[in-house]
Amino acid sequence: MELDGKVAVVTGGTRGVGAGIARALVRAGAQVVLCARRAPEVPRPGTEFVPLDVRDPEAVRRVFADLPRMDVLVNNAGGAPHRLLTAADAERHARVVELNLVAPLTVSLAAYDHLRRTQGSIVMIGSVSGGRPSPGTAAYGAAKAGLESLARSMAVEWAPDIRVNTLVVGMVRTELSHLHYGDPDGITAVSRTVPLGRLAEPSDIGAATVFLASDAAAYISGASLLVHGGGERPAFLDAATANKEL
C-alpha cells in the first residue's frame, strides 16, 4: 500500500480526521496538498497548504486548475453542529447539505481531468449517520447518505479511468470530541457502546484511506467500507429479558 510519487489532495485536511488522513498519506509516500479555510496551527511535514472554501465553486475550479498533477482526491471537508430540525429554517439546513454533499461534487468535478489523466482515485469520507436516523444532525445524515449514492454513480460513470469509493466512518476521537460526547467520562461511556470498545483514532481512518487509494485496492470501486469498530449494539438487546449473555 505505497503511494510513492503520488499527489494527494485532502479537503479539510488541517485538523481532526483530515489531519489523520494527511499524516497517513505522507507516511505512505504521497505528496499531500491540504485544502481548508484555515492553515494548520503547526506546519505539517510533507504537505502543502492551499487556502480554500470548498463551498465556493469558482475558487475550487481556480485552485484545482492550478495544480500540476493529482492522483488521489479525499473529500473529507464537512461536518455539522447539533441542531434539531425545528430549531432552524430550511435554508440553514440546506447549508449543511451544501457543505457535505454539493461541495464534494464540486470538488470532484474540478478534479476530474487530473484524475482521468493519472488513472487516479477518489475517496469520499462518509458517515454512519447516512445509514441510520440522526436526530439533531438530520441534514448531515441525509447529505452523507447522498454522498454514498453519489460515489456509487461516479464509480460507474467515470470507470475505468477513475476509481471512487466511500469510507463510512463511525465515531472518532478528535480534538472536538467533547462537543459531541461531553467530558472524559462521557467519551468513555460512549466508547463502551462500540463493539471494539473504543472510538476510532484519526489514524484508523487514515490507514483505510491509504488502502483505498493504493494499488492494493486496484479492483475496488463503487464500494462502501465500514470503519466503525463493529457498529452499534442493538438497543433491544439491553431491554430484552431473554438471552442476556449476548
pLDDT > 90: what percent of the chain? 83
pLDDT at 237: 83
Q: Please report the sign of the dihedral spanned by the C-alpha atoms of residue 6, residue 12, residue 13, residue 18.
A: negative
- Cis check: omega of the bond before 160, within 30 degrees of 0: yes
Question: What's residue 179's pLDDT?
Answer: 66
pLDDT in tens, 22-35: 999 999 999 999 99
Report whether pLDDT(201) > 80.
Answer: yes
Give the residue carrying C-alpha cell 489531519.
19
**Domain residue limits, the chain:** 7-175+201-239
Assess whether pLDDT exceeds 90 at residue 202: yes
pLDDT of 245 reads 67
Percent of the chain at pLDDT > 70 equals: 98
Place of cell 455539522: 80
Give the length of the chain: 246
Q: What integer is the mean pLDDT of 85-93? A: 97
Residues 6+ positions from 4 with CB-CB distance below 8 Å: 28, 29, 30
CATH class of 7-175+201-239: alpha beta
Taking each helix axis as running N to C, give the angle between helix 57-66 and helix 103-118, from 0 to 180 degrees, rounded to the nearest 10: 20
C-alpha span between 214 and 34 (Å, rounded): 19
pLDDT of residue 244: 67
Name the pTM for this structure: 0.94
Average pLDDT over residues 196-224: 97
The C-alpha atoms of residue 156 and residue 119 are separated, in whole angstroms, by: 14
pLDDT at res. 240: 84
SS3 186: helix
β-pair type (72-75, 121-127): parallel
pLDDT in tens, 127-157: 999 999 999 999 999 999 999 999 999 999 9
